[in-house]
């Protein structure tokens, strides 16, 4: 079984349990914290993935790093995961939990890549268009990627909309090379 399937199962269990316990919001904050920690601390992720470290040592490290920043419910789940020798799924589990939470409140996160900063008015128009199509609230995070030259790329869930000049030039180049 792949890590993503396992991560989804643990996320679902944590999501359902925290919902029953009326602690969904605090566990969501915990998962945001763990997600951010895994993004900024590659050393923490390496500890989780290390086949050399013993389970007890990993549990001590996880506890030392997280215990003051997460709820008891989340800490218990991390202990269960560690006891099952699956601590390497913790980063994926936090991602999956956040996706489940966003889905439950009707929120879709969209990454917008462009060569230059896009105006708030244009972002609002893009957001409104996507919201109308998906019937969800939209949260746009903009990324500057100068190699796009112009236009933009939208990434949302498992969809990609590429309206960049770089992509269009690449298509023209491909057509021209095929004709030669």
pLDDT digits (tens, 9 = 90+) for 3-55: 788 999 999 999 999 999 999 999 999 999 999 999 999 999 999 999 898 98
pLDDT band at 2 (very low <50, low <70, confident <90, very high): low
Mean pLDDT, residues 113-129: 89
Mean pLDDT, residues 125-146: 89
Mean pLDDT, residues 90-119: 92
Q: Flag whether the pTM goes above 0.75.
A: yes
Same fold, 3-103 and 107-179: no
Instruction: Enumerate the domain spans of the chain.
Output: 3-103, 107-179
Residue range 3-103, CATH number: 1.10.520.20
CB atoms within 10 A of CB 97: 28
10 Å CB burial of residue 12 (0-12, 13-18, 19+) is middle
Long-range contacts of 154-161 (CB under 8 A, 24+ apart): 154/110, 154/111, 154/112, 154/113, 154/126, 154/130, 155/110, 155/111, 155/113, 156/108, 156/109, 156/110, 156/111, 156/130, 157/108
Q: Which fold has domain 107-179?
A: Glutaredoxin (3.40.30)
CB atoms within 10 A of CB 29: 14
């Amino acid at each position: 079984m792949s890590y993503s399937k396992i991560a989804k199962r643990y996320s679902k269990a944590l999501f359902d349990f925290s919902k029953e316990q009326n602690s969904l919001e605090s566990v969501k904050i915990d998962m945001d914290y763990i997600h951010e920690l895994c993004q900024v601390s590659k050393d923490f992720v390496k500890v989780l993935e290390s086949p050399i470290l013993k389970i007890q040592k990993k549990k001590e490290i996880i506890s030392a790093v997280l215990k003051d920043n997460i709820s008891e419910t989340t800490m218990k789940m991390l202990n269960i995961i560690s006891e099952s020798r699956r601590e390497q799924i913790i980063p994926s589990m936090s991602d999956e939990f956040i996706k489940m939470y966003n889905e439950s409140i009707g929120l879709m996160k969209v990454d917008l890549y462009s060569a230059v900063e896009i105006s708030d008015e244009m972002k609002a128009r893009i957001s409104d268009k996507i919201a109308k199509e998906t019937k969800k609230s939209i949260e746009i995070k903009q990324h500057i990627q100068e190699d796009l030259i112009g236009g933009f790329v939208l990434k949302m869930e498992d969809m990609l909309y590429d309206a960049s000049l770089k992509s269009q030039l690449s298509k023209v180049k491909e057509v021209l090379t095929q004709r030669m």
